Structure 1
Amino acid sequence: MEKNGSIVPAEFPELKNETFLRAAQGEQTEYTPVWCMRQAGRYLPEFRETRAAQDFFATCRSPEMCCELTLQPLWRFPLDAAIIFSDILVVPQALGMEVVMVPGKGPTFPEPLKEVEDLLKLQQKVDVAAELGYVFQAITLTRHKLEGKVPLIGFSGAPWTLMSYMIEGGGSNTMAKAKAWLYRHPEASHRLLTLLTDVIVDYLVGQVAAGAQGGTEEGRGLKVAPMLQALQLFESHAGHLGPEQFAEFALPSIRSIAKRVKNKLLEDALPAVPMIIFAKDAHYALEDLAQSGYEVVGLDWTICPQDARQRTGKDITLQGNLDPCALYAPKEKIGELVKKMLEGFGSQRYIANLGHGLYPDICPEHVGAFVDAVHIHSRHLNKCS
């Protein structure tokens, strides 16, 4: 597992639970797989204890700590996938921008992009292996430590979402500064989005290379090599755009990333992996997202499961979409809400999840109730169908 002091992807343990991967590629499953966005997070007391004395981004740069935090929810809950602990803003850092985590405020850019000329301050050619190699090492280490329990998901923020942070300097209720760029500086906006797209493609391919099963020569599909990880692209700020702006400034990058990642995996003789697109609040673009080259479309909680299924068609796996606040309800009510959600989506071509990430004050026992309810009710649905 180690070579010259570095963690290397050699002969991962055999995968014991491939339900998530089977659902992602549209195969029949005995039950509906489930995982949670931000499942490694502050709602767990052990997470808070591990993170207590460590700077957030220093934690992100420690493969050992990322591995431990990724595994913590798997020790508690029978989840069907793990997602590597990291942050979408490591990509702007790789471009040369400083990002700090300010207590009570969140991620902050001390020097955000203000003028078009500021684009020249960004690294125009990023050595992703050098800048983000710590993420790849965390993935490789975690794949070993998982011992084949469940697949591991890698991820990145999408270009528009990252661009909005880089211009706003942090979170924003309106994204007015970033959207102003789209109206005032469309050409510069496209240049920035293209630069981000280029880095994200290399970053996602690098994650597959770090976590791909070694030594597999027979075939390239998931049916032959079911031990692969998956990738999720987070377009978390899609809801700040209208249909026209999304079509011009977000959707082309989303499509390009899926196509280029798959082509590059093929060129590099790496195995194919299922890809998930999660564009929060982009209901207006649901049909476009279903045809954007991703096997799975993630949904927030503000769309009806039946409508989503009808609009995306039969060849797409859907993921989501329980309101995270539903986990504040009593456990019995959580079970009722999960049952209704499963009946809306159906138990096949479906991955249960929340419509956004877990909140810090959610009780871990209620997360467990959610996971258990998905497994119990989906098995019952399968028996009745």
Structure 2
Amino acid sequence: MTGRERFLAACHGKAVDRTPIWIMRQAGRYLPEYRALRSQHSMDTALRNPAIAAEITLMPLERFPLDAAIIFSDILPPLTAMGLDLAFVPGHGPQIGNPLRTTKAVDLLGVPPAKEAMGPTLEAIKIVRPELNVHNLALIGFAGAPFTMASYAIEGGATRTFAHTKAFMYSEPAAWDRLMVKLSGMTIDYLKAQIAAGVDCVQLFDSWVGALSRYDYERYAKPYSHRVISAVEDSTIVIHFSTNTGTYLDAVADAGGNVIGVDWRTPIDEAYARVQKPVMGNLDPAALLAPWRELMPHAQEVMQRMEGQPGH
């Protein structure tokens, strides 16, 4: 099987000759060539320049026998197009200078067309697609899920407590719903534009949704993730990824997605049994910092737990 065939077959729950391989953030700081390029260009420049984004996307394929590339981008730039002041601050990560804290701020948010808001990323996809076709590799697009995007917009940056997000969610439920409708609409348009540009599948990142209880997930997040996924799932494969959601992984799967991305906290065979869908992931990212003798058993455990199962 080619890499693209292997990856797509696994996503459809079919048998494969081996487990397909791709890595989140596979184009990043661990690559010397990436660090060299970033020494000359800021993160913002790399995201806004299609040629640079395409070059970064392809970097790991020169080193490793991967089955898919994931387009180099970030989940947050759509917030800039909606009217938020986003900056990638060295040493501090993404920061939003005018976080959403009022109902008026929510109502002032725009929802521009994805082609206008995320044109450079869409152009990067068009540059990368022919290169991957030559090597028969898959291309993954992505976007942030509405809850995670809302959390960034309200908190203004990374957080441990999600105090501002939850306070707004609980105290202004109508405004929260209006915000999530806007974010859902933007995300649907953006994913559809990526599909039209040439990606083979899309991943919905809900990186922060594990801050919620099952009840709050069902009320405040799940309906909007479902809205996004149901709008695009007839056009492409959808990988639905979340973190720290082991206690309600069934609810995450019920929100939609052909494939469920599983973090390291839940054994992958248990997750597979609970969601009854193809699964991906499960290796602790920190294990990649370990020496080979320690990393191999972690990878082997994931493989052994899913041995013989379709969709992995």
Q: Same fold (TM over 0.5)?
A: yes
Question: For residues 111 and 22 of structure 1, what CA distance do their matches in structure 2 show?
Answer: 44
- 1:127 maps onto 2:140 in alignment: no
Question: For residues 99 and 174 of structure 1, what CA distance do their matches in structure 2 show?
Answer: 21
Question: For residues 324 and 84 of structure 1, what CA distance do their matches in structure 2 show?
Answer: 19
**Pair 1:158–1:289, CA change in 2 (3 A):** same
When normalised by structure 1's length, the TM-score is: 0.78
Q: Which runs of 5+ in 2 are unaligned?
A: none
Question: For residues 187 and 119 of structure 1, what CA distance do their matches in structure 2 show?
Answer: 11
When normalised by structure 2's length, the TM-score is: 0.95
Q: Is the 8 A contact 2:3 2:20 kept in 1?
A: no
- 1:273 maps onto 2:236 in alignment: yes
Quote how far apart the aligned CAs of 1:157 are.
Answer: 0.4
Question: For residues 234 and 206 of structure 1, what CA distance do their matches in structure 2 show?
Answer: 17
Give 2:165's aligned residue.
178
Q: Is the 8 A contact 1:29 1:348 kept in 2?
A: no
Question: For residues 35 and 311 of structure 2, what CA distance do their matches in structure 1 show?
Answer: 32
Question: For residues 333 and 114 of structure 1, what CA distance do their matches in structure 2 show?
Answer: 45
- 1:188 maps onto 2:159 in alignment: no
Matched letter for residue 303 of structure 1: T
2:257 to 294, 318, 337: 294
Give 1:252's aligned residue.
223
1:288-337 per-position Cα deviation (integer Å, ceiling 9, x unaligned) = 22233311000110111232122112xx1001111111122221332222
Question: For residues 34 and 317 of structure 1, what CA distance do their matches in structure 2 show?
Answer: 14
Question: For residues 38 and 336 of structure 1, what CA distance do their matches in structure 2 show?
Answer: 22
Give 2:131's aligned residue.
145
Question: For residues 235 and 79 of structure 1, what CA distance do their matches in structure 2 show?
Answer: 24
Give 2:294's aligned residue.
333
1:72-129 per-position Cα deviation (integer Å, ceiling 9, x unaligned) = 0111110111000000001111212121011111100111112111113311x42221
Q: Alignment identity in percent?
A: 38
| Partner SS for 2:174 | helix
Quote how far apart the aligned CAs of 1:350 are.
Answer: 4.1
| Partner SS for 1:82 | strand
Q: Which runs of 5+ in 1 are unaligned?
A: 1-14, 213-228, 264-271, 352-385
Matched letter for residue 242 of structure 1: S
What is the alpha-carbon root mean square deviation over aligned residues?
1.5
Q: Is the 8 A contact 2:15 2:311 kept in 1?
A: no
Tell me which stretches of 4 or more aligned residues in structure 1 moved more than 6 Å. none
- 1:109 maps onto 2:80 in alignment: no
Give 1:221's aligned residue.
none
| Partner SS for 2:118 | helix
1:134-187 per-position Cα deviation (integer Å, ceiling 9, x unaligned) = 111110111112244210000000011010011111111111111111111111
Quote how far apart the aligned CAs of 1:347 are.
Answer: 4.5
- 1:322 maps onto 2:283 in alignment: yes
**Bigger CA drift: 331-340 or 202-211?**
331-340
Matched letter for residue 240 of structure 1: A
Q: Is the 8 A contact 2:240 2:256 kept in 1?
A: no
1:52 to 28, 31, 39: 39
Question: For residues 322 and 293 of structure 1, what CA distance do their matches in structure 2 show?
Answer: 22
Give 2:23's aligned residue.
36
Give 2:204's aligned residue.
233
Q: Is the 8 A contact 2:233 2:257 kept in 1?
A: no
1:42-99 per-position Cα deviation (integer Å, ceiling 9, x unaligned) = 1111111111122212211111001000000111110111000000001111212121
Pairs within 5 Å for 1:349-360: 349-351=310-312
Matched letter for residue 96 of structure 1: G
Question: For residues 28 and 306 of structure 1, what CA distance do their matches in structure 2 show?
Answer: 16
Give 1:308's aligned residue.
271
Q: Is the 8 A contact 2:12 2:311 kept in 1?
A: no
| Partner SS for 1:209 | helix
Q: Is the 8 A contact 2:3 2:66 kept in 1?
A: no
**Pair 1:328–1:127, CA change in 2 (3 A):** closer
